[in-house]
Structure 1
Amino acid sequence: MQAIFSLKKYMKPYMVFAIIAPLMMVLEVAMDLIQPTIMQHIIDNGIAKDNMPYVIKMFGLIILCAVMGLIGGAGCSIYASKTAINFAADIRQDLYETITYFSNSNKDHFTIGKLITNITSDVEMLQRALTMLLKIFVRGPFTFIGAIVIVFITARELFPILLVVVPILAISIYFFTKLSGKLFLKVQEAIDAVNTRVQENLAGIRVIKAYNRKKHQIEQFTTVNETLMKRNIHADQIIGILMPLTAFVVNMGIIAALWMGAFKIGNETIEVGVILAFINYLMMIMGGLMSSSNVLMQIARAVPSAKRIVEVLEEKSEIKNIENPMSTPIKGAVEFENVSFAYNKNNEPVLKNISFKANPGETIGIIGMTGSGKSTIVQLIPRMFEADQGVIKIDGQPIRHYDLHTLRSSIGFAPQKATLFSRTIEANVKYGNDEATMDELIEALESSCALEFVEKFDDKQQHHITQGATNLSGGQKQRLAMARAFIRKPAILILDDTTSAVDSFSERRIQNAIANNFKESTKFIVSSKISSIRHADKILVLDDGSIVGQGTHEELLETNRVYQEIVSTQLVRGGILNE
């Protein structure tokens, strides 16, 4: 329950609605409680005594109570829904913002599937619980207590029946409510597994088809889906026992009331109307307990969801601003001093004692075998990850001293995997600078050699990209990702193997555009191709997480064995390398 109380701050803006809703429900319940007593008087004082004016007057009173109850019930539903929906929307918004600021390690800790469940299923569970709490939980206890009080006052001869029925119902409800929390926690964990499997399969659908592994993936999904099904069935079956059990107990109470009433009517110590009213109140007591139990079960189901949500909201991002960070403009000097980093702190570092310096305007090429740590180096510059040892400096200051917004606003980053959003081409490119003019957009597209294919679309820059950019080729996606980095005109430009799917002619044009348009930017070009980095001012050669060579292309050709081996494996036209 502590987790639910931790979320109470999201209720504060809607406390007026949250107060009005129960008050309206009290009105509805009060009207419901009055009606059996009115019916008792109609039978005993009207029909039994053939007093039709009295009967008509009581019927009018019943109609008035029904109308008042309608107003109360409708008002409760309206205000309860407003409270619960806004409450859930605010939590969902905060969850999304929190996840957005997570570092990669934070996301890996929770997994994408679980985060999707948090922001959808878990929030929905809380919304339903709050709606039921405001609408039904007031109704249940108020009906339960009110019915018992009225029975004690008006049908005291039958009151001993309640002393047996009510404890049995209360104990049953407590037991099943406690059990439901454990059962539905397992259900939510199974939902996590389903979401994770779906997310992985949709993201890798092309690989699945290419390797003809659809049947295998379906079998894997079937496994997690069946686990979810079995846990849902198990939970619903056990909880489903509660309703027939309580109905049985109440029916036994009704039989006892009729049995006792038959004797007391014969002795003229009780009237027929009292027995009918007692049966109605007994049904109300059962309804009150059942509705209360449904709310308690919903709350029990919501508690695990609340815990999971609070766990995400309270997760501290590993990468955050220090107190009073620097916001001075960045010129672009970058220096690594004995930097080491490991994705898993228990494993061997993927970067070991990395040291180099890049001056403003220089081009730094980074090359090495797969897994040597090339991409990791450039991801440390915008603080996608935090170095475990050593210091990374920009313009002579540790990057931790810079405000994150200032740091990242000064970097144009085209990652190894070109990620585009389901928006127009213009919106995707302007994602790098939403204040860019149309001329700057065209310039960025031209610099990345993207303009040539964009102009072929009927709607040109307004061409809509599908989810996952499935309506673009790999090379087209890479060129748009570069355009997004170019439009920032950043102090530091990072291109992480962004021309792997680009033809050599287009790559040469992109290199010329970078050389001409980004003379003052510090450029980091990660590539597995010598042709992409041979003109760099300095080339870093990586092997197994360490820098094994630094220098120009010519210097490394003469002195560095690893670089020589890379060159020798890359066959190009016209000799060793294309000019």
Structure 2
Amino acid sequence: MQAVLSLKKYLKPYMVFAIIAPVMMLLEVAMDLVQPTIMQHIIDNGIAKGDTAYVFQMFGLMILCAVIGLIGGVGCSIYASKTAINFSADIRQDLYETITYFSNSNKDRFTLGKLITNITSDVEMLQRALTMLLKMFIRGPFTFIGAIVIVFLTARELFPILLVVVPILAFAIFFFTRLSGKLFLKVQEAVDGVNIRVQENLAGIRVIKAYNRKHHQIQQFTSVNENLMKRNIHADQIIGILMPLTAFVVNMGIIAALWMGAIKVENSTIEVGVILAFINYLMMIMGGLMGSSSVLMQIARAIPSAKRIVAVLEEQSEITNLENPVLTPIKGEVEFDQVSFAYNKNNEPVLKNITFKAKPGETIGIIGMTGSGKSSIINLIPRMFDVDKGVIRIDGLPIKEYDLSMLRGAIGFTPQKATLFSRTIEENVRYGNNEATMEEFIEALEASCAFEFVEKLDTKEQYRVTQGATNLSGGQKQRLAMARALIRKPAILILDDTTSAVDSISEKRIQKAIEENFRESTKFIVSSKISSLRHADKILVLDDGVIVGQGTHEELLEKNKAYQEIVSTQLVRGGTLHE
């Protein structure tokens, strides 16, 4: 319940709506409670005595009450919906912003599937709970209490029946409400499993098709889907017992009321209208309790969702600014001083005592076998992760002292996997610098050799990229991702194996353009190809997270055995490097 209370701040801006909705519902409840009493008077004082004028007068009063109740019900629905929808939209917005600022470690801890569940079904669950709370939780208790009070005042001879029926109903509702919270927590966990499986399968759909593993993945999905189905069925079956059970108890109460009423009517101690009114009020009592139980069950279902949402909102990103970060413009000098890093702090470091220095304008090549730590090094520069030991300095200051937004704003970063958004090509490239002129936009396309294929598209730079950029080739995606980094004209340019799908001629043109247009930028180029790095001012050779050599291509070729082995594997006949 503490999690639910911690979300109350999202309700404050809409408190006026949240107050109007229950007030309107009270109006509807009051009109509903009056109706059986009016009907009692129609039967006992109108029909029984043949007073037609009185009957029509009471009918008119019933219609008036029904209209007023309609106004109250519609008003309650409108304001309750406004409150709940705005409440959930604000939570969803904060969740998205919080997730956006998460470090990679934070995201890995929650997993993408669970975060998707948080921002969709968990928020939806809270919205439904609040809507029902504003509508039914006022209606239920007030209908229940009002009906009991009216029965006590107008049909005291039948009141003992309520003393038996109401406690039984209350106990049943309390028991099933408590049970529903535990059951639907398991349901929500099963929903996580389905979301995770769907997210993984859709992300890897090409691999699944390439390896003809569709049936295997379908079987895996079937397993998690059946688990969700079983938990849903179990929860619904258990909770489904409540309605027929309460209906049975109420029906027993009605039978008792008719039996006692018949005796008392025969003895002339009660009138027929009172019995009918009592039955109506008994149904209202059941409706009130059932309405309250529905709200309580919805709240019980929403509490696990609230806990999960609060856990995300309260999660502190591992990558944060200092209290007074440095805002000095970055020139581009980068220094690693005895840096060690591990993705999982319980495992062996993937980087061990990394030390090197890059001066502004220099080009640093990074090469090594797969898994040697190449991408890990460059991911530390924009603080995608923080180091475990040692320090990274930029322009002589520890990287943690810089304002995070300013630091990343000074870096043009192209990750190993070219990620494009389902927007136009222009929007994707301008993602790097939305203030860039059209001339700068064209320059970035030309520098990355993307202009040549963009110009051939039907709508050119307005060509819309599909989700996952499935309508572009691997090389086209890489060139557009590179253009997005180049348009920033950054102090530090990081290219992580961004020409692996680019032909050798285009790669040479890209290298030349970067060399000419980004002379003052510090450039980090990660590649497994010697041809991509041989022009670098300094090449770092990595092996199992350790720098086993650094120098120019010629120096390493002469003295470094690890580099010589890499070169030898890329030689073709005639001793020429394969480019």
Query: Could you state the TM-score of these two structures normalised by the residue count of structure 2?
Result: 0.99
- Which residue identity does 2:554 align to in structure 1? E
- Which residue identity does 1:97 align to in structure 2? E
Contact residue 567 and residue 576 of structure 1 kept, 8 A: no
- Which residue identity does 2:267 align to in structure 1? N
Q: How far has the Cα of 1:82 moved from its partner?
A: 0.1
In the other structure, the counterpart of 1:281 is 281
CA deviation string 1:77-135 (max 9, x = no partner): 00000000000000000000000000000000000000000000000000000000001
Counterpart secondary structure, 2:27: helix
Q: List runs of 5+ in structure 2 lacking aligned partners.
A: none
User: Hey, what's the Cα distance between the residues in 2 that align with 1:328 and 1:135?
Assistant: 55
- Which residue identity does 1:342 align to in structure 2? A
Q: How far has the Cα of 1:577 moved from its partner?
A: 2.3
Pairing 1:441-480 to 2, within 5 Å after superposition:
441-480=441-480
Q: How far has the Cα of 1:445 moved from its partner?
A: 0.4
Contact residue 570 and residue 578 of structure 2 kept, 8 A: no
Q: How far has the Cα of 1:575 moved from its partner?
A: 2.9
Q: How far has the Cα of 1:578 moved from its partner?
A: 6.1
CA deviation string 1:493-539 (max 9, x = no partner): 00000000000000000000010000000000000000001110000
- Cα separation, partners in 2 of 1:193 and 1:248, compared to 1, 3 Å: same
In the other structure, the counterpart of 1:45 is 45
Q: How far has the Cα of 1:61 moved from its partner?
A: 0.3
Pairing 1:523-542 to 2, within 5 Å after superposition:
523-542=523-542
- Aligned pair 1:222/2:240, yes or no? no
CA deviation string 1:357-380 (max 9, x = no partner): 000000000000000000000000
- Which residue identity does 1:250 align to in structure 2? V
User: Hey, what's the Cα distance between the residues in 1 that align with 2:61 and 2:341?
Assistant: 79
In the other structure, the counterpart of 1:434 is 434
User: Hey, what's the Cα distance between the residues in 2 that align with 1:383 and 1:572?
Assistant: 39
User: Hey, what's the Cα distance between the residues in 2 that align with 1:577 and 1:265?
Assistant: 109
User: Where do 4+ consecutive residues of structure 1 move more than 4 Å?
Assistant: none
- Aligned pair 1:360/2:350, yes or no? no
In the other structure, the counterpart of 1:260 is 260
In the other structure, the counterpart of 2:291 is 291
Pairing 1:509-520 to 2, within 5 Å after superposition:
509-520=509-520
Counterpart secondary structure, 2:576: coil
In the other structure, the counterpart of 1:399 is 399
Contact residue 336 and residue 393 of structure 2 kept, 8 A: yes
User: Hey, what's the Cα distance between the residues in 2 that align with 1:36 and 1:134?
Assistant: 25
In the other structure, the counterpart of 1:490 is 490
Q: How far has the Cα of 1:576 moved from its partner?
A: 3.0
Pairing 1:126-205 to 2, within 5 Å after superposition:
126-205=126-205
User: Hey, what's the Cα distance between the residues in 2 that align with 1:164 and 1:253?
Assistant: 8
User: Hey, what's the Cα distance between the residues in 1 that align with 2:577 and 2:521?
Assistant: 26
In the other structure, the counterpart of 1:324 is 324
Q: How far has the Cα of 1:573 moved from its partner?
A: 6.9
Alignment RMSD, CA only?
0.7
Counterpart secondary structure, 1:55: helix
Contact residue 379 and residue 385 of structure 1 kept, 8 A: yes
User: Hey, what's the Cα distance between the residues in 2 that align with 1:572 and 1:505?
Assistant: 18
In the other structure, the counterpart of 1:556 is 556
- Aligned pair 1:504/2:512, yes or no? no
Q: How far has the Cα of 1:152 moved from its partner?
A: 0.1
- Aligned pair 1:237/2:237, yes or no? yes
CA deviation string 1:256-305 (max 9, x = no partner): 00000000001000000000000000000000000000000000000000
Q: How far has the Cα of 1:574 moved from its partner?
A: 5.6
Contact residue 261 and residue 270 of structure 1 kept, 8 A: yes
In the other structure, the counterpart of 1:100 is 100
- Aligned pair 1:369/2:350, yes or no? no
User: Hey, what's the Cα distance between the residues in 2 that align with 1:290 and 1:572?
Assistant: 80
Counterpart secondary structure, 1:458: coil
Contact residue 447 and residue 513 of structure 2 kept, 8 A: yes
- Aligned pair 1:304/2:310, yes or no? no
Q: How far has the Cα of 1:572 moved from its partner?
A: 4.4
Contact residue 338 and residue 354 of structure 2 kept, 8 A: yes
User: Hey, what's the Cα distance between the residues in 2 that align with 1:218 and 1:513?
Assistant: 47
In the other structure, the counterpart of 2:65 is 65
Counterpart secondary structure, 1:315: coil
- Which residue identity does 2:126 align to in structure 1? L
CA deviation string 1:232-258 (max 9, x = no partner): 000000000000000000000000000
CA deviation string 1:416-466 (max 9, x = no partner): 000000000000000000011111111000000001110010100000000
In the other structure, the counterpart of 2:77 is 77
In the other structure, the counterpart of 2:211 is 211
CA deviation string 1:287-328 (max 9, x = no partner): 000000000000000000000000000000000000110111
User: Hey, what's the Cα distance between the residues in 2 that align with 1:100 and 1:193?
Assistant: 22
Q: How far has the Cα of 1:571 moved from its partner?
A: 2.6
Contact residue 492 and residue 521 of structure 2 kept, 8 A: yes
User: Hey, what's the Cα distance between the residues in 2 that align with 1:405 and 1:570?
Assistant: 40
Counterpart secondary structure, 1:83: helix
User: Hey, what's the Cα distance between the residues in 2 that align with 1:509 and 1:222?
Assistant: 50
Contact residue 122 and residue 302 of structure 2 kept, 8 A: yes
- Which residue identity does 2:83 align to in structure 1? T
Contact residue 194 and residue 225 of structure 2 kept, 8 A: yes
Identity score, percent: 84
User: Hey, what's the Cα distance between the residues in 2 that align with 1:470 and 1:571?
Assistant: 34
- Which residue identity does 1:366 align to in structure 2? I
Counterpart secondary structure, 2:542: strand
User: Hey, what's the Cα distance between the residues in 2 that align with 1:573 and 1:438?
Assistant: 46
CA deviation string 1:169-204 (max 9, x = no partner): 000000000000000000000000100000000000
The count of aligned residue pairs is: 579
User: Hey, what's the Cα distance between the residues in 1 that align with 2:233 and 2:326?
Assistant: 56
Contact residue 366 and residue 541 of structure 1 kept, 8 A: yes
User: Hey, what's the Cα distance between the residues in 2 that align with 1:158 and 1:572?
Assistant: 102
CA deviation string 1:131-164 (max 9, x = no partner): 0000111000000000000000000000000000
User: Hey, what's the Cα distance between the residues in 2 that align with 1:556 and 1:184?
Assistant: 62
Contact residue 335 and residue 357 of structure 2 kept, 8 A: yes
User: Hey, what's the Cα distance between the residues in 2 that align with 1:277 and 1:513?
Assistant: 89
- Which residue identity does 1:115 align to in structure 2? L
User: Hey, what's the Cα distance between the residues in 2 that align with 1:478 and 1:574?
Assistant: 31
Contact residue 465 and residue 471 of structure 2 kept, 8 A: yes
User: Hey, what's the Cα distance between the residues in 1 that align with 2:338 and 2:476?
Assistant: 37
Contact residue 28 and residue 70 of structure 1 kept, 8 A: yes
In the other structure, the counterpart of 1:414 is 414
Contact residue 172 and residue 242 of structure 1 kept, 8 A: yes
User: Hey, what's the Cα distance between the residues in 2 that align with 1:576 and 1:533?
Assistant: 15
User: Hey, what's the Cα distance between the residues in 1 that align with 2:197 and 2:215?
Assistant: 14
User: Hey, what's the Cα distance between the residues in 2 that align with 1:124 and 1:559?
Assistant: 63
User: Hey, what's the Cα distance between the residues in 1 that align with 2:97 and 2:185?
Assistant: 25
User: Hey, what's the Cα distance between the residues in 2 that align with 1:81 and 1:324?
Assistant: 43
Counterpart secondary structure, 2:577: coil
